[in-house]
Chains A and B, each alone.
Chain A
Amino acid sequence: MRPVLQATHIEKSFNVQNIRTRALIDVTVDICRAEFTLMIGPSGCGKSTLLAILSGMSSPDQGAVHVGSFNLSELTDEQRDLFRLKYCGFIFQGFNLFPALTALEQVQVPLDYMNIPEDEARERALLALDHVGLSKRKHLRPAEMSGGEKQRVAIARAIVKRPVILFADEPTSALDSENGRNVIEILRATAKETGTAVLCVSHDMRLLSKADRVLQMEDGRLLRDERPNAVSQSTERDVP
């Protein structure tokens, strides 16, 4: 199993009303390619803080995050932006789509910022929408879509960049069970077909049976790290 991301001895604390809270205590974890990794744990256990640090959106107080040859803690804000632009995809609980843009345009936007030519961007956006089963709904705006469709557009927007790592924060908690199942199937398929490392943070216990690997957190510590099933390997894309 080849790790694409390695975090070692991560510590993070916050001051809330003059009380120092240790959100993460000596967390060491790696995330592997082509795996659908599920991170679970009760509210306030530090899952989201860890996700923010692993994705380079915030810095740890101590410890290091290595992705390929990058050490995220040593990068400037601009370099971290560039890193995320090139290698990371994100899916959030709120779908956060632009009300004015059609599904196709929502998916095309990240590619525009990567300076990908218009025609190619459009083609890739169409492929991504097809991958999430929405190619027939490409002309719709968010107000005309169901919650499940919106989340699938958000997934298409995240995978259209062909990210090396895909971070998902509670992607199913705003969805009914059927749409939630769909979304998880898409994330799982993305990991298998493209070799992307998918790290999904969730409360949703229904996802346990779908995960290749389960990380359980509690009180800022990683308690359990299990692989219920065998995992296939892929070598499609790597961080240099």
Chain B
Amino acid sequence: MISIARKTLLHDWRRFLPAAVAVAFSGVLMTVQGALLLGIVSANALYVTQSSADYWVGFPGTQSVELGRTVPADTAAELYAEAGVSHTEPLLIGSGDWRAAQGGGVSVTIIGIESAADAKGLDRVIPRALRNLLSAPGAIAIDAADAGKLSVKLGDRAEINGRAVELIGFIDGLRGLGGVNVVASLQTARTLDTALPADGGATYFLYNVKRAGEGESIARRLNNRGSPPRYEVWRAGMLADMSTLYMLLDSGAGIAFVFATLIAMLIGAVITSQTLMAAVAGTIPQYATLRALGVPFPRLRKIVVEQAAWVGLAGLVASLVISLTIALLAAIYRVPFDLRISVIAGASGVVLLVAMVACMLAIHRLRDADPASLLR
């Protein structure tokens, strides 16, 4: 069977190029926008994603990690009582008012972490040596990118809530969304923010399990203990996703994304359909001749559908290649770019939808292929 669709695409590729470019453009626009947005809002989940703990225990009903409230001290005892739990530690999240030697006040978030060498809290960004240094009273660390905002250099002294602190190290990878994160030991955090529990309670308890397979059943058991529940257990990934989603919806950034997606879809659909329609219109006499020779209408429709599918596929591949290249550049230049499979799948789905809509409009044009119109 001679494929008129494919032969025409190859022979007349210049004619179909704009459609493939439009599809690729929609795909790239959606993917990049989505990945950038996720990269930015996923900063809201940094406390979770920069820690290697498997499970987080916090106040029941917490929607986002920074909104955690105190869970009582005996939670720790319940975690220790679970034979499958290998490691547990508290994590504190408080707030304070920063005052440097020069400059005004800045509101900061205080993260109190366990200073033991095997601690899991923020262990992806706080190396063992730095953690050790933090155990000194009043010692703090901040993300290097926030130094300017706090007007502070390494070794400088400042005050948080009127208590002296000393910057003993910089962190790479804990830059918040607008706010500033100050990391300290549990003891230092408690002295800086007196609202934090001093009785052994914590904002979160982090734990790991001995065998990965048991994780879910332990979490389920803990979650079903006590009514009303005094705490809730989340997988780390789940709490991170909740926090990202919360910021996405809360900040209104999600709406911007939806809007950009609609624009990308519209532009893609308009250009692709125009191109396909022009291609069909240019081939109407040939199609009409096939109709005269008795080729049924659905067989002609198949030609257009096949062309649209190839155009969509070509655009999709181009979009993937470009998006991956941008992701690579973003990684090199340290731009927050979170290219997830879900973003790629979503954008690909929309792109194929665009090609389908364009195809349907082009098929409509095929109705002009009336064989009687060839007779004059």
A82 touches B294 (CB 8 A): yes
A88-B294 CB under 8 A given contacts A98-B8, A109-B2: yes
A98 touches B374 (CB 8 A): no
Whose C-beta in chain B lies nearest to the C-beta of A89?
Answer: B293
A106 to B297, CA, bound (A): 18
B375 touches A48 (CB 8 A): yes
Minimum distance in angstroms from B306 CB to a CB of chain A = 13
Q: Is B7 among interface residues, defined by CB-CB distance under 8 A?
A: yes
Within 8 A of A (CB), among B277-295: 283, 285-286, 288-295
A110 touches B288 (CB 8 A): no
Q: Is B195 among interface residues, defined by CB-CB distance under 8 A?
A: no
Interface size class of A (residues with CB under 8 A): 35 or more
A99 touches B294 (CB 8 A): no
Contacts of A157 in B (CB 8 A): 293
Q: Which of A58, A97, A108, A161 contacts B293 (CB 8 A)?
A: A161
Contacts of B294 in A (CB 8 A): 81-86, 88, 110, 113
A88 to B1, CA, bound (A): 21
- Summed over the interface, the residue pairs from A and B with CB atoms below 8 Å come to a total of 96
Q: Is A52 among interface residues, defined by CB-CB distance under 8 A?
A: yes
Minimum distance in angstroms from B286 CB to a CB of chain A = 5
A81 touches B372 (CB 8 A): no
Whose C-beta in chain B lies nearest to the C-beta of A51?
Answer: B375
A118-B376 CB under 8 A given contacts A85-B294, A110-B293: no
Q: Is B296 among interface residues, defined by CB-CB distance under 8 A?
A: yes
Contacts of A92 in B (CB 8 A): 285, 289, 292, 374-375
Contacts of A141 in B (CB 8 A): 11
Whose C-beta in chain A lies nearest to the C-beta of B285?
Answer: A96
> Per-residue 0/1 for B227-247: is the Cβ within 8 Å of any A Cβ (1 yes, 0 no)?
000000000000000000000
Minimum distance in angstroms from B335 CB to a CB of chain A = 44
A62 to B109, CA, bound (A): 89
A57 touches B372 (CB 8 A): yes
A99 touches B292 (CB 8 A): no
Q: Which of B283, B285, B295 contacts A110 (CB 8 A)?
A: B295
Contacts of B292 in A (CB 8 A): 55, 57, 84, 88, 90, 92
Q: Which of A58, A93, A94, A112 contacts B2 (CB 8 A)?
A: A112
Within 8 A of A (CB), among B88-103: none
A96-B289 CB under 8 A given contacts A57-B371, A101-B2: yes
A90-B2 CB under 8 A given contacts A52-B372, A113-B294, A170-B376: no
Whose C-beta in chain A lies nearest to the C-beta of B11?
Answer: A100
Q: Is B12 among interface residues, defined by CB-CB distance under 8 A?
A: yes
Minimum distance in angstroms from A41 CB to a CB of chain B = 13
Q: Is A212 among interface residues, defined by CB-CB distance under 8 A?
A: no
A97 to B1, CA, bound (A): 17
Minimum distance in angstroms from B12 CB to a CB of chain A = 6
Q: Is B220 among interface residues, defined by CB-CB distance under 8 A?
A: no
Contacts of B331 in A (CB 8 A): none
A75 to B374, CA, bound (A): 22
Within 8 A of A (CB), among B233-287: 283, 285-286
Contacts of B293 in A (CB 8 A): 84-85, 88-90, 110, 113, 157-158, 161
Contacts of A118 in B (CB 8 A): 1
A153 to B283, CA, bound (A): 17
A201 to B286, CA, bound (A): 20
B296 touches A96 (CB 8 A): no
Minimum distance in angstroms from A110 CB to a CB of chain B = 5
Contacts of B7 in A (CB 8 A): 98, 100-101, 105
Minimum distance in angstroms from A45 CB to a CB of chain B = 12
B2 touches A105 (CB 8 A): yes
A96 touches B4 (CB 8 A): no
Contacts of B371 in A (CB 8 A): 52, 57, 90
Contacts of B11 in A (CB 8 A): 99-100, 141
Query: Which of B4, B285, B288, B289 is packed against the most chain A CB atoms within 10 Å?
Result: B289
Whose C-beta in chain A lies nearest to the C-beta of B8?
Answer: A100
A97 touches B286 (CB 8 A): yes
Minimum distance in angstroms from B278 CB to a CB of chain A = 14
Which B residues fall within an 8 A CB radius of A?
1-2, 4, 7-8, 10-12, 283, 285-286, 288-297, 299, 371-372, 374-376
Interchain residue pairs A-B with the least CB separation, the first 4: A85-B294, A100-B11, A84-B294, A48-B375
Residue contacts A-B, CB under 8 angstroms, 8 given: A57-B372, A90-B292, A92-B289, A96-B286, A98-B7, A105-B7, A108-B2, A110-B295
Given A90-B371, A109-B2, A110-B294, 15 more pairs with CB closer than 8 A: A55-B292, A57-B292, A57-B372, A57-B375, A81-B291, A81-B297, A92-B292, A92-B374, A93-B376, A99-B12, A100-B8, A100-B10, A100-B11, A110-B290, A113-B290
